[in-house]
Structure 1
Amino acid sequence: MQRALRILIVDDDIVDRRICRRALGRLDPPPVFVEAETAAEALDELDRSNERNVDCVLLDFRLPDMDGLELLVRLNERGIEQRVPVVMLTGADDVPVAVEAMRRGASNYLVKDVDGRYQELMPTIVNHALRDRELQLARWRDEQALARYRGDLSDLAQRLMDTEKTTTRGLAQMLHDQLGQTLAAIRLGFDAVSATCASLSSEPARQHAARLSALIDQAVREVRQVLVTLRPPLLDERGLLDALDNELLMQSPALDGAELQFERASGLAGVRWPADVEYAAFMIAREAIGNALRHAHASQVLLSIDGDARSLRLRVADDGSGIPADLSRPGHLGIVGMRERALAIGAKFALESTPGRGTAVLLDWTAP
């Protein structure tokens, strides 16, 4: 069985209060009415036990202790879950007041015309106000749930990025201390054996030794490249700007005629951002530059950075082939990785791309 509504009528005129009760008495089930002649009485009623919640307020504009607009503002200062839908009642000469009431958060208004037509509209207006209130509450709860979800997702992305940093540092350390040292020992041993046997070896043996020497050198270079990939040089010691400078220099052998430019705003010399922010920004820039060179075949790539100690704006733009529609969707792994890194530091991420007209990757971070 549907619960009877509890309606608060705030009006210092007893006749008008009686008219409201009669007009709304047609609702099914008939409402329970609470009356207040002043704003103070209305506030007292609304502050009472939650067991007797008011579902809707009919509020007259002209009250002896406070005008209805001021009381409306006071009512809307409450938390959204404690707010009550308010229908403003005005005289025929107070239509601008009704408009202002809507601007200040009233659910609706009724003009008390001399013919009494507003009495016929009152049940419909109150029902609409109640439905609007339910929609507002549902939207607010959905927004709260979405905010919690985003917060949880951001926390997860942060933990994943922390795990990635820990894992890559550990792997880099192992490569340096174990495989790197092993290769160095192989090189020393091979050189020693080659020097000892040089005079005894045949030409085929010398050629074979040269090939082995080249393979050892290649393995050493590849390990060094992996170490650079796993542990961005200079990032921890000298910061994001120097690390990106170095990254562009290291990309030079693979440019094949492409032009890389790095623009930084004035005043950024010596600026450092939080370690997580610098790491995420560096990895996003590296991914975007690599995509532009390897996949979009760009002839020009522009990396730009702006901001201050509490904000960072990074942009990587290229003139390449752009991202095909089937790869620009959120599920594409490279894009997902960049989005997750931005999410982990609470930054905004955007990707702008038109097939055949280039791509721009944007990261915008502001300290909380």
Structure 2
Amino acid sequence: MPARFDNGITGTILLADDSALDRHLFTQLLQRYGHTVHAVADGAQALAALDGLQPDLVLLDIRMPDMSGLELCAKLKADPATRDIPVIFISAASAVEDRIQAFSSGGVDYIGKPIKSEEVQARVTTHLTLRALRRTLELRVQERTAELEVANRHLSEEITERRRMAQELLESRQQLRDLAAHGEAAMEQERKRIAREIHDEQGSMLTALKMDLTLLRRELGDAPPAIGQRLDTMQHLVEEAVRVMRQVASQLRPAVLNLGILPALEWLTEEFRQRTGIACHLLAGDDIPLDDSRATTLFRIVQESLTNVTRHAEASQVDIGLSLEAEHIRLEIADNGKGFDPSQVGGNSFGLLGMGERLEALGGKLRIVSAPGRGTRLHITIPLAEELP
């Protein structure tokens, strides 16, 4: 019993051969293996049959009248609707040139006559299997492509959502900075108001009380010593109250800040030297005309930096440099203290955080250069206002 090359693959086959005997033999053979066969006698009939038929395989005799199998194959490969259908040529010719022409025109295989049933079935089954695998692969590619399109759409939506959230976060941070700047400005205004009230109202009252004590001392020139001692005590208390009042007013809002940033920093460095005994040098040129918010920010940053030097640096010298450059103001504060590792600064360093918040509100930047045993240097830049007075 002859061997059967049959893996269960069957299909619809279009057979074109001008020999009635060969058409009959091929049809009987292929049907025996379960294939559906549409047999025609020439190329024109084959083209007509393709109008309503989508075969899985085409068997073409090379030599047919009017239109050869080679010409028909070329037409099939030129048509997008039929170009993927595998074509197997059949011919009694055994010349190499015929086989070359068959493959050159788009054929996938070649069967010689007289035919052998096992060879025909093996070749037909092989190419039907390949076509089925190709269709399966194409289907999987389509399914995978659809899955990737869905995943890409979801990813695109997620990216869009994340961008929206990032934009909202940026806007929220900007709102927080604006709110912090507004709060800081309101706080400075309130400090200014309280300092003015302390200086004007409480200062006037204490000055009047001091004058009254002076007049009372004159009127009671012959008073007993006990009364004179009591007046001295009262005079001392009033003078101490005046001193404390001026100190509180200066801490709230130094009056010298109204004269400009340079006089304010000169006053601050001198007060720092007298209070701590630490050498403090201010290096600056001419006074820089600044709006109140920038002048106040620079003053508060220097004030906070000097406080940090007193509390933590163990320094013996501080140098402060202030300069006006093309598009921004540069402030540098350096000490020769014990230094620290900036990367280890945590969220509890409220002084540095406060500096950063003040600068961000004005579009400024803070850079810290420090290392254990090598002192600390703060580099601060603030953009100039659009218009300087």
TM-score by length of 2: 0.56
Q: What is residue 282 of structure 2 aligned with on the other side?
A: 262
1:112-191 mapped onto 2 (5 Å cutoff): 137=160, 140-191=163-214
2:346 counterpart letter in structure 1: R
Q: Offset at 1:355?
A: 4.8
Offset from partner CA, 1:154-210 (integer Å, 9 cap, x none): 1111111121122111111211222111111111111112222232222x4434432
Q: What is residue 46 of structure 2 aligned with on the other side?
A: none
Q: Establish whether residue 213 from structure 1 lines up as the match of residue 235 from structure 2.
A: yes
Native 8 Å contact 1:351 1:359 kept in 2? yes
> What is the rounded CA distance, in whole Å, between the counterparts of 1:360 and 1:30 in structure 2?
58
> What is the rounded CA distance, in whole Å, between the counterparts of 2:139 and 2:363 in structure 1?
50
Structure 1 181/141 Cα, relative in aligned 2: closer, same or farther at 3 Å? Answer: same
Structure 1 246/24 Cα, relative in aligned 2: closer, same or farther at 3 Å? Answer: farther
Offset from partner CA, 1:229-270 (integer Å, 9 cap, x none): 222333333x222321222123231132x2111123xxx525
Q: What is residue 301 of structure 1 aligned with on the other side?
A: 318
Q: What is residue 26 of structure 1 aligned with on the other side?
A: 141
Q: Establish whether residue 291 from structure 1 lines up as the match of residue 308 from structure 2.
A: yes
Unaligned ranges ≥5, structure 2 = 1-78, 85-136
> What is the rounded CA distance, in whole Å, between the counterparts of 2:219 and 2:145 in structure 1?
109
> What is the rounded CA distance, in whole Å, between the counterparts of 1:300 and 1:270 in structure 2?
23
Q: What is residue 250 of structure 2 aligned with on the other side?
A: 228
Structure 1 261/136 Cα, relative in aligned 2: closer, same or farther at 3 Å? Answer: farther
Q: Establish whether residue 252 from structure 1 lines up as the match of residue 273 from structure 2.
A: yes
Structure 1 195/325 Cα, relative in aligned 2: closer, same or farther at 3 Å? Answer: farther
Using the aligned pairs only, state the percent identity. Answer: 26
Native 8 Å contact 2:281 2:318 kept in 1? yes
Structure 1 26/269 Cα, relative in aligned 2: closer, same or farther at 3 Å? Answer: same
Q: Establish whether residue 241 from structure 1 lines up as the match of residue 262 from structure 2.
A: yes
Aligned residues: CA RMSD:
3.6
1:26 aligned counterpart, secondary structure: helix
Structure 1 208/361 Cα, relative in aligned 2: closer, same or farther at 3 Å? Answer: farther
**Larger % of helix: which?**
2
> What is the rounded CA distance, in whole Å, between the counterparts of 1:307 and 1:143 in structure 2?
35
> What is the rounded CA distance, in whole Å, between the counterparts of 1:166 and 1:178 in structure 2?
17
One of 270, 275, 278 as aligned partner of 2:292: 275
Native 8 Å contact 1:322 1:354 kept in 2? yes
Native 8 Å contact 1:272 1:309 kept in 2? no
> What is the rounded CA distance, in whole Å, between the counterparts of 1:327 and 1:188 in structure 2?
56
Q: What is residue 335 of structure 2 aligned with on the other side?
A: 318
Larger radius of gyration: 2
2:196 counterpart letter in structure 1: Q
Native 8 Å contact 1:156 1:344 kept in 2? no
Native 8 Å contact 2:322 2:332 kept in 1? yes
Equivalenced residue count is: 254
Structure 1 309/183 Cα, relative in aligned 2: closer, same or farther at 3 Å? Answer: farther
Q: Offset at 1:212?
A: 2.6
> What is the rounded CA distance, in whole Å, between the counterparts of 2:297 and 2:362 in structure 1?
8
Native 8 Å contact 2:362 2:383 kept in 1? no
Structure 1 30/135 Cα, relative in aligned 2: closer, same or farther at 3 Å? Answer: closer
1:48-127 mapped onto 2 (5 Å cutoff): none
2:378 aligned counterpart, secondary structure: strand
> What is the rounded CA distance, in whole Å, between the counterparts of 1:170 and 1:294 in structure 2?
29
1:260 aligned counterpart, secondary structure: strand
1:296 counterpart letter in structure 2: A
1:271 aligned counterpart, secondary structure: coil
> What is the rounded CA distance, in whole Å, between the counterparts of 2:231 and 2:138 in structure 1?
104
Native 8 Å contact 1:313 1:363 kept in 2? yes
